[in-house]
Chains A and B, each alone.
Chain A
Amino acid sequence: AAGVIQSPRHLIKEKRETATLKCYPIPRHDTVYWYQQGPGQDPQFLISFYEKMQSDKGSIPDRFSAQQFSDYHSELNMSSLELGDSALYFCASSVRASKETQYFGPGTRLLVL
């Protein structure tokens, strides 16, 4: 079965640079969620989208922004990167009708030097 696709899988950036992470949900899934997971930590919710509209917002820094496009894929844009942004970034997707069941992508490992 098709799964959530994330790209790139690994990313190395310098401080103050920008990064764009992409997420392609499972086919026919219309809701996308972004989570950040630091080393040894639990995933922290950042933001979610349904039908291109932001549906919820968590602990996402103002330096980050995200959007969902008409084909339901989503992009997380990160600017003025800091060392503390180094983490695994997961995208998850679900079907609105079954709201809660979220399936996670393989993640993007971001390293900020």
Chain B
Amino acid sequence: GENVEQHPSTLSVQEGDSAVIKCTYSDSASNYFPWYKQELGKRPQLIIDIRSNVGEKKDQRIAVTLNKTAKHFSLHITETQPEDSAVYFCAASPPGGGNKLTFGTGTQLKVEL
């Protein structure tokens, strides 16, 4: 089955700096890669996603890049703000009827004033 690795496990940045989180996946058939933000005790919230026919997608301060050949994808957050502090999970989904998500182990992002 799919295996997703995520790095770093913790990331501390100064407000206004950029943050980058990287993930690799094992199943070359995976074709959908969402990113979720989760605050303590709350639900994972979809912040951006990318499909395998696209190399990059941007939504305001958030962007995701995908390298299918290397089987890795990254989340980029620019101009970080304290409210960006949370755990971020990447995930991968293979094609097929189930569409289950396999998550990475998460990155605890802390944006310091």
Binding site for B on A (CB under 8 A): 31, 33, 35, 41-45, 48, 50, 55-58, 88, 90, 94, 99-107, 109
Determine which of B32, B43, B101 lies in contact with A105 in the assembled complex, contact meaning CB atoms within 8 Å.
B43
A104 to B39, CA, bound (A): 13
Decide: B43 and A106 in contact? CB cutoff 8 A: yes
| Cβ–Cβ < 8 Å partners of B100 in chain A | 33, 45, 48, 56, 58
A45 to B101, CA, bound (A): 7
**Which size bracket describes the interface of B in this complex?**
20 to 34
Known contacts being A56-B97, A58-B100, is A100 close to B32, with CB within 8 Å?
yes
Instruction: Give the secondary structure class of A's interface.
Output: strand
Whether B45 and A104, one on each chain, are in contact in the complex, defined by CB atoms closer than 8 angstroms, is yes
**Which B positions have Cβ atoms within 8 angstroms of A?**
32, 34, 36, 41-46, 49, 51, 89, 93, 96-106
Known: A41-B105, A103-B46, A106-B43. 18 other contacts (CB 8 A): A31-B99, A42-B105, A43-B101, A43-B103, A44-B103, A45-B100, A50-B97, A55-B99, A56-B97, A57-B98, A90-B43, A100-B32, A100-B51, A100-B101, A101-B34, A104-B45, A105-B43, A109-B41
Give the nearest-CB partner of B42 in chain A. A106
Nearest residue in B to A40 (C-beta to C-beta)? B106
**Cα separation A57 to B101 with both chains bound (whole Å):** 11
A-B contacts, 17 of them at CB < 8 A, read A42-B89, A42-B104, A43-B44, A43-B103, A45-B100, A48-B98, A56-B98, A57-B98, A88-B41, A90-B43, A90-B44, A99-B99, A100-B101, A103-B46, A104-B44, A104-B46, A106-B43
Q: Is the CB of A104 within 8 A of B43?
A: yes
How far does the Cβ of B38 sit from chain A's closest Cβ, in whole Å? 9
Closest Cβ–Cβ distance, residue A93 to chain B (whole Å): 12
